[in-house]
Structure 1
Amino acid sequence: MDMLKSDKLFIILSWLIENKFYIHYFNLNIIYWSVIDIIDSIVGELHYPFYIMNHMSLKSDFYEIANSNSGVFLNALHEFNYPDIPEEKAHVFCLWLIDFTRIHGCILPDFRANVLENLIKESLKIEDLSFISGFHGRELISSFMVFYLRNLYLYKNSKHIFDEEKSIQEDVNGFPLTENGVPIQNHAFVTLYVNLSLSQWLLR
């Protein structure tokens, strides 16, 4: 919060307001996107309409439980070699998940806690939890490109400025976006300083 008291930040925000620029803020929760594959692995194998329709709520509830005791949760994932859990440890991992969900489910309303616990119990019936086992290594997120592309296409009439990230830039450039065959050219990767050419690009 002290950062918001900065005189320099005040100048920047004032300039943005005066020139009628709008900022879309996106906060990527690494832990959330790293653990929801557990829910996807179960829901994807069950094909139960109720779970499919409510999979986003289930992910949010699961993350809330995981985050309620993140130290224990993340240490356990490390011990099980998540997200590449060996086949011989899969059953024990599922049992641990059930216990963890049962113990920490009290932070959720009773109905949601019961639904989530019942879903996790279904994992014991699944032979292959595809998203969390088999040749993934210790890599949690293979690429962040999808988060960039989502905003570029979702807000295609805006102009997007990203910090210069060489690997991301190469991925995005290798995946051209089009609409009705017309390229969407609405972004730029820049260094941390804002220069005159960037200002001209924004104002054109």
Structure 2
Amino acid sequence: MIDIDEIRDAQIQAYGLSKANCIYTFYHDETNNIKKLRLDAQGLNVAEPAIFILGGIVHEGMPRPLDIQPLRNAMRIQPSADEIKLKHVAKGEFLELLKSEKLITFLQWISENGLVVHYHALDPLHWSLVDIMDSILYGIGQPRLMQFHAVLKADLTTLLRVNLAATMEVFFRYNYPDVATKNQRAFVDELLRLLERNGDVLPEFNAMMLKGVLQAGRNLPNLDFIEGFTPHLLLENFAAFYLNRIAIFKYSNHILDMEDSIRDELDAMQLSSHGVPVTHFRFADSKSEPGIQVSDIVVGLIGKMHSYFAQTPREKVAKARDALQGTSLKNVELLKALIDASHDTNVAFLHHISSVADVDKMNLFLRNGGSPYEDL
């Protein structure tokens, strides 16, 4: 049995969440659930893991009817379509989606109906790598370095993405994330060699700082967070991210698209609050839940957006943003307004477990102020 209050209290304290007790109704869908991320001698089971998104739409208060027939009519969805999906609104990758007039109608409908978006974005590759830097920084124990932990993790992710096949060959050889203590110095030496070969993908100062931290790491007696786990298993499942949302917003209602594997994993956890089984979430068929249908489109759009930032250099993102006009520009402005409204409503609605360099690209594209990555 898992007590959700232990998870909830830790998150509230860590992030200063002041509105976790508010009552909302969440509709959830997901995209890019690869089930597992693991290694074998040929590399990753998924060649280029896309960004996993769990999210959708949310409104204040208890569940209320959502009439999407006017939206279907406005977007000229055929009556034969028993539910609406992203393919009915726009097709292609992120920049192609932005060219859709129907997407304008869709994004406007969300805000006009008292709804905002919510999402949890997870980069499976970044998630799999951060324990390396956490191990080193924990071992070094210098508070001054800790202020740069997010940037150092982002730089390591950028470096190891350059030649993912070579990176995964090293990881497989050392049984990552179960690198034996006796092999940890050699493992870090391999990372330093990758930095020597591909360090030009980073700003010069960032590369120098990363090199210095890795060199310090190779001299540590052990790296606690990359030993003792299942060899070659980088991500076991995505149920924990569902659990996190359900736990934080325990006074809210959560209506989730039916995913048999996730349902079974949550059932096996026997979730409780102060010893009482929790009942504030349920799985439903999207055909009977308009909120889930709308959420399908939201997570599809957000997933393609974040995957675009993860796969595209910052310079190209900047050029693409400068070139936007017409429908594409309008859609970006509407998307930014929705994301801003979500943040203003509750900062916990938007959560990223991804490289701060990629979040910086999102801020650049949406014209959000400041760049914590560049301020190093």
TM-score normalised per structure 2: 0.44
1:173-199 Cα distance to aligned partner (Å, 9 max, x none): 634468xxxx98764333343337989
Where does residue 98 of structure 1 map in the other structure? 192
1:131-154 Cα distance to aligned partner (Å, 9 max, x none): 112343332234534423444466
Where does residue 83 of structure 1 map in the other structure? 177
Greater percentage in strand: 2
Greater percentage in helix: 1
Q: What is the Cα deviation at residue 17 of structure 1?
A: 4.7
1:120 pairs with 2:209: no
Question: RMSD in angstroms over aligned alpha carbons?
Answer: 3.6
Q: Which has the higher contact order (CA 8 A, sep 6+)?
A: 2
Write the distance in 2 (CA, Å) between the matches of 1:39 and 1:144: 22
1:30 pairs with 2:124: yes
Q: 2:147 aligns with which of 25, 32, 53?
A: 53
Q: What is the Cα deviation at residue 48 of structure 1?
A: 1.0
| Contiguous gaps of at least 5 residues in structure 2 | 1-89, 294-376
Q: 1:2 aligns with which of 75, 78, 91?
A: 91
Aligned pair in 2 of structure 1 residues 47, 165: CA closer, same or farther (>3 Å)? farther
Write the distance in 2 (CA, Å) between the matches of 1:95 and 1:40: 17
Q: 2:161 aligns with which of 45, 49, 67?
A: 67
Residue 216 of structure 2 aligns with an amino acid whose one-letter code is E
Aligned pair in 2 of structure 1 residues 64, 154: CA closer, same or farther (>3 Å)? farther
Aligned pair in 2 of structure 1 residues 109, 185: CA closer, same or farther (>3 Å)? farther
Residue 25 of structure 1 aligns with an amino acid whose one-letter code is Y
Q: What is the Cα deviation at residue 88 of structure 1?
A: 4.1
Identity of aligned residues (%): 29
Q: What is the Cα deviation at residue 128 of structure 1?
A: 1.9
Write the distance in 1 (CA, Å) between the matches of 2:220 and 2:134: 12
Where does residue 340 of structure 2 map in the other structure? none
Q: What is the Cα deviation at residue 120 of structure 1?
A: 0.8
Write the distance in 1 (CA, Å) between the matches of 2:105 and 2:252: 23
TM-score normalised per structure 1: 0.74
Aligned pair in 2 of structure 1 residues 167, 150: CA closer, same or farther (>3 Å)? same
Aligned pair in 2 of structure 1 residues 198, 120: CA closer, same or farther (>3 Å)? closer
- Answer yes or no: is the 8 Å Cα contact 2:139–2:217 preserved in 1: no
Q: How does 1:97-176 map to 2 (within 5 A)?
A: 97-152=191-246, 160-169=254-263, 172=266, 174-176=270-272
Write the distance in 2 (CA, Å) between the matches of 1:44 and 1:168: 33
Write the distance in 1 (CA, Å) between the matches of 2:169 and 2:121: 24
Aligned pair in 2 of structure 1 residues 191, 79: CA closer, same or farther (>3 Å)? farther
